[in-house]
């Protein structure tokens, strides 16, 4: 038990991430934006490894920023922490006088801390109010979605963001259940999902609640739209010889990264800008997505689903 708790806090694909970023960060006074700072695990190791690196760490979760601030305090002014959604990456950089950075890291999804915090409602294994907002100060929470949305809307969310084939059955059962009493806890929702899925399917494929919980989390935090805006903005921010690494954990996220990287690495006209000041091109550093090593998957459950992609900006 102790081992599992400890392992969950090890940053995923740490060595590979550092290896991919190293050429870009081996310059004088490099800057890296950690767009998903979380508990600062990757950032801490990068600051240790590169003596004059400065990191701007973004997170939309204030409690993650507080914990990261304590962990990273010894690096003093080499770290700047920013409470923001990562599609604001260009503004975050420009407000600090930066138009280009040498490295960018996205380690997507929720952190182990968010899953462990029993009051956040991310985990189907802890009984908690259904919330699931990464920034609890704003937006619609999962309890509002589950108790107010129509069958059609719930089905779409669960199917599209959870890739759940029993979406319509789950939505119907949620609606039946909430006629009796509002569905307000994670355990109550997990039970409804379990009952919606045919018994034969329940025996295979892990916890049946996993996909629906993922779907609600993605919807509540508007994760797909935000990511679709953030990746092109981040690509624009890379300096020549700058590198970006993205760790994603499900196919919807990975597809967005794959497409955005393919778009800039294959198009002849540099993407987006009407007038490119200096012709640049992007080169994929990972042919297709990479997985974590077998040893890492064995010791860190979160690493089992990671897909690693990296790209470099070059002078054309
Ligand atoms: C997997 S954790 C990062 C863990 C981190 N790499 C570490 O080693 O400690 C992802 C973090 O990204 C944050 N996050 C997710 N989506 C975000 C967004 N759109 N904007 C800003 N932060 C986001 C979450 O709040 C969470 O703290």
203 and 233 together in one domain:
no
For helices 186-196 and 209-220, what crossing angle results, to 10°? 130
Contact residues of ligand 1, CB 6 A cut-off: 11, 36, 38-42, 58-61, 64, 85-86, 107, 109-111, 134, 226
Of ligand 1's atoms, which has the minimum distance to the CA of residue 135?
Answer: 25
Q: Are 256 and 231 in contact (CB under 8 A)?
A: yes
* Boundary-marking domain end, from 182, 204, 220: 220
pLDDT for 287: 86
Domains in the chain, number: 2
Q: Are 65 and 41 in contact (CB under 8 A)?
A: no
263 and 173 together in one domain:
no
For a substitution probing ligand 1, which of 111, 249, 250 has the most ligand atoms within 8 Å of its CB?
Answer: 111
120 is a domain residue = no
User: What whole-number distance in Å separates Cα of residue 191 and Cα of residue 38?
Assistant: 30
37 and 61 together in one domain:
yes
pLDDT for 123: 86
Cα of 196 to ligand 1 centre, how many Å? Answer: 31
Q: Are 21 and 243 in contact (CB under 8 A)?
A: yes
* Boundary-marking domain end, from 220, 253, 273: 220
pLDDT in tens, the chain (316 residues): 333 333 347 899 999 999 999 999 999 999 999 999 999 999 999 999 999 999 999 999 999 999 999 999 999 999 999 999 999 999 999 999 999 999 999 999 888 888 877 788 888 888 999 999 999 888 899 999 999 999 999 999 999 999 999 999 999 999 999 999 999 999 999 999 999 998 877 767 678 899 999 999 999 999 999 999 999 999 999 999 999 999 999 999 999 999 999 999 986 555 565 655 557 799 999 989 999 999 999 999 889 999 999 999 999 7
pLDDT for 3: 36
pLDDT for 82: 98
pLDDT for 200: 77
pLDDT for 105: 98
Sort strands 79-83 and 101-107 into parallel, antiparallel or unpaired: unpaired
Evaluate if pTM is beyond 0.85: yes
Residue nearest to atom 26 of ligand 1 (CA): 38
DSSP string, 163-226: --TTHHHHHHHHHHHHHHS---BHHHHHHHHHHHS-HHHHTSSS-THHHHHHHHHHHHTTHHHH
């Amino acid at each position: 038990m102790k081992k599992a708790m400890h392992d969950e806090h090890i940053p995923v694909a740490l060595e590979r991430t550092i290896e991919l970023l190293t050429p870009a960060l081996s310059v004088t006074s490099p800057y890296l934006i950690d767009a998903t700072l979380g508990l600062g695990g990757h950032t801490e190791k990068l600051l240790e490894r590169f003596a004059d690196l400065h990191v701007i760490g973004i997170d939309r979760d204030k409690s993650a920023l507080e914990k990261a601030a304590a962990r990273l305090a010894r690096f003093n002014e080499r770290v700047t922490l920013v409470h923001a959604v990562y599609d604001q990456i260009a503004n975050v950089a420009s407000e600090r006088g930066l138009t280009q950075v040498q490295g960018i890291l996205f380690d997507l999804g929720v952190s182990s801390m968010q899953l462990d915090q029993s009051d956040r409602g991310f985990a189907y294994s802890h009984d908690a109010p259904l919330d699931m907002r990464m920034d609890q100060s704003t937006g619609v929470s999962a309890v509002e979605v589950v108790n107010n949305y129509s069958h059609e809307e719930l089905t779409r969310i669960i199917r599209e963001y959870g890739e759940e084939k029993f979406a319509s059955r789950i939505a119907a059962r949620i609606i039946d259940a909430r006629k009796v009493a509002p569905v307000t806890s994670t355990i109550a929702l997990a039970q409804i999902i379990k009952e919606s899925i045919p018994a034969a399917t329940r025996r295979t494929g892990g916890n049946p609640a996993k996909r629906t919980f993922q779907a609600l989390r993605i919807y509540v935090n508007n994760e797909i739209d935000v990511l679709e805006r953030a990746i092109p903005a981040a690509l624009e921010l890379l300096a020549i010889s700058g590198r970006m690494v993205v760790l994603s954990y499900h196919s919807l996220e990975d597809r967005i990264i794959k497409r955005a990287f393919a778009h800039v690495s294959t198009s002849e006209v540099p993407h987006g800008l009407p007038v490119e000041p200096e012709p640049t091109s992007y080169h994929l550093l990972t042919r297709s997505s990479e997985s974590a090593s077998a040893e890492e998957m064995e010791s860190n459950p979160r690493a089992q689903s990671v897909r690693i992609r990296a790209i470099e900006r070059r002078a054309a």
